[in-house]
Amino acid sequence: MQNRIEIEYIYGATLRVAPFFFTTMLEIKSPQTESDWKAYYALRFSVLREPWNQPLGSEVLADEDQAIHAIAVENGEVLGVARMHESAKNQGQVRCVATATKAQGKGIGKTIMAYLEEKAIEKGWTEIVLEARENAVPFYQAIGYRIVAESYLLFGEIQHFRMQKSL
């Protein structure tokens, strides 16, 4: 079981404590090192492309150099990724949000979105828009986004919804 620890006593007895939750620090930052960037794109690929049999490389978009990128790192492991670019005057668009499958539902997506919203506010942007996969709509609604319109179908099967949040 995850987070289970075993405390070994000097006389050989083993005490199992489960569940035991370590206090871990989640750090949100921009990827800096080559290893950060590698982990960033690898996580994007494994969560957003590989399950739909998309080729390696399809996770890299044409305008990466114009985006703000964020990674969520816990115990040295990249567990969340997202990017945001200026899509219109005072408007940011968030794309490619993904939390590692094993770490979903623990607040990582919410924290990385809060980081990007803070960056958008610093830039004086007044709203964020995004194209949400249908499965992720409740996540974005939980953090204050609303559906504006039904939009496109990705890979012939993933319905998207345009969503918006005023900052």
Q: How many residues does the chain have?
A: 167
Query: Does 163 interact with ligand COA (rule: CB under 6 A)?
Result: no
Return d(Cα 95, Cα 131) in angstroms, integer: 7
Angstrom distance (rounded) from CA 62 to CA 46: 19
Whole-angstrom distance, CA of residue 44 vs CA of residue 99: 9
Window 37 to 96, contacts with ligand COA (CB under 6 A): 47-48
Q: Is 120 in the site for ligand COA (CB under 6 A)?
A: no
Task: Choose which of 14, 24, 135, 166 interacts with ligand COA (CB under 6 A).
Answer: 135
Q: Indicate which single residue of 43, 98, 116, 120 sits in contact with ligand COA (rule: CB under 6 A).
A: 98
Stretch that binds ligand COA, among 53-61, 83-91, 128-136, 149-157 (CB under 6 A): 128-136
Question: Rounded to the nearest whole angstrom, what is the least distance from the CB of residue 135 to ligand COA in the complex?
Answer: 5
d(CA 83, CA 29): 11
Among 136, 145, 161, 165, binds ligand COA (CB under 6 A): 136
Q: Which residue ranges make up the site for ligand COA (CB under 6 A)? A: 47-48, 97-99, 104-110, 132-133, 135-136, 138-139, 142
